[in-house]
Amino acid sequence: MQPLDLNQLIELDRRHLWHPYAPMPNTGPVFPVRSAQGVHIQLETGEQLIDGMASWWTCIHGYNHPRLNQAAHAQIERMSHVMFGGLTHQSAVQLAQKLVQLTPDPLQHVFFCDSGSVAVEVAMKMAIQYWHSRGQPHKQNFLTFRRGYHGDTFAAMSVCDPVTGMHHLFRSSLVDQYFVESPRIPFAGEWQDEAMTAFETLLAEHGDNIAAAIFEPVVQGAGGMWFYHPNYVRRARELCDRYGVLLILDEIATGFGRTGRMFACDYAGICPDILCVGKALTGGFMSLAATLTTAHISQTFAQGEAGVFMHGPTFMANPLACAVALENLDLLASYDWRSRVSAIADQLKSGLEPCRDLPAVKDVRVLGAIGVVELHEPVDMAVVQPQFVAQGVWLRPFGRLVYTMPPYITQPEQVAAIARAIHTVIAQMR
């Protein structure tokens, strides 16, 4: 097919394409992309934008990285896909081995899946089937924090906040779960033991019905970009053990260095029973996620009615995705990413601090390569998005949050440009 000109591209997009969290037809601004290289997105209109979003937190090494491209080319010459039922391949085996090495020691078994939402669905099914295999099929529900976000599929939606979250329209169709208020002690705040009272009370009262607690450790992502005290994670581990409940940690957004540690649970020094990873797993090259668990849990399934885990995605362990993911993790290990993330954090702290004095701003916070400016009122995306493009950066605010999670390769002058753009745009808000 012949390439479309700019007007055709936009017109056909509006006519046929349904964008995420957008109306149909889409009446908001849309920016056609011609190419992407490094930390830059090149628009069809000629503008070059610094990507402050890492394409929803995935492209930790930027775009079009030669090592990831080469890994994809080498794999596609062998095979782009083969079913995983009864077959296996080098890329999946080596990637699983790498993930086991990177994650806390008790996690030994890896279940590959298509996306972060599916990884959460898999984790929840694992927890329910585990208890069924142990003769406790009544343990079907989950305990989680308000203001959490775990994906857009139905089981995942049920453990997102049903009141303040983005899925309240589906509330009557979702399984009722147990919610406690989200952690309010900030990351570097003074710990208070009574912060866990509500969590423990729910476990004490309903533990017989709860299969697992599930939450995002240290960073609540799409539910508010809030950074909370690691002791919540540590104490939750202890309480889950005390009351006979599994612990699922959702590190889809935080995994692979984003917070300054390889995994956010490292700040608490604990290991979950089940861990979900995704997003940055392939460096943004293509969709892949994984759910990891312990030998104890997987071996328990053999004692149950089914004898096997009842799940199997069609494109599970896709060789192309696994090959790129393996190279992405090798690339991450090839340089001092901790220093890179720390440098970005320091620069975001100094660069975003002036926003604190702006009338529209409620709070400014930074953890690792995550910078957040929380506003008093929601942003008007139809107005704000073009303003950021005019400043030469790509950011995608939501609700009352203007935030950045840039690639780790973002240079100091580029981080400074992102911070300046955030200050400039927010300063124009009434």
**Would you please indicate which residues are annotated as catalytic (active-site) residues?**
21, 149, 250, 279
Partners of residue 418 on adjacent β-strands: none
Structure tokens at 279: 């997003």
Q: One-letter amino acid identity for 254? A: T
How many angstroms from the chain centroid is the CA of residue 26?
25
Q: Angle, to 10 degrees, between the axis of helix 197-206 and the axis of helix 230-242?
A: 20
SS3 category, 178:
strand
SS3 category, 371:
strand
What are the phi and psi torsion angles at 144 (to 5°)? -155, 170
Long-range contacts of the stretch 88-96 (C-beta < 8 A, 24+): 88/317, 89/317, 89/319, 89/322, 91/317, 91/319, 91/322, 91/323, 91/326, 92/317, 92/319, 92/322, 94/322, 94/326, 95/322, 95/325, 95/326, 95/329
**Cβ of 47: how many Cβ atoms within 10 Å?**
15
Between CA 60 and CA 165 the distance in angstroms is 27
Residue 316: closest CA among 60, 82, 79, 147: 82
How many angstroms from the chain centroid is the CA of residue 180?
21
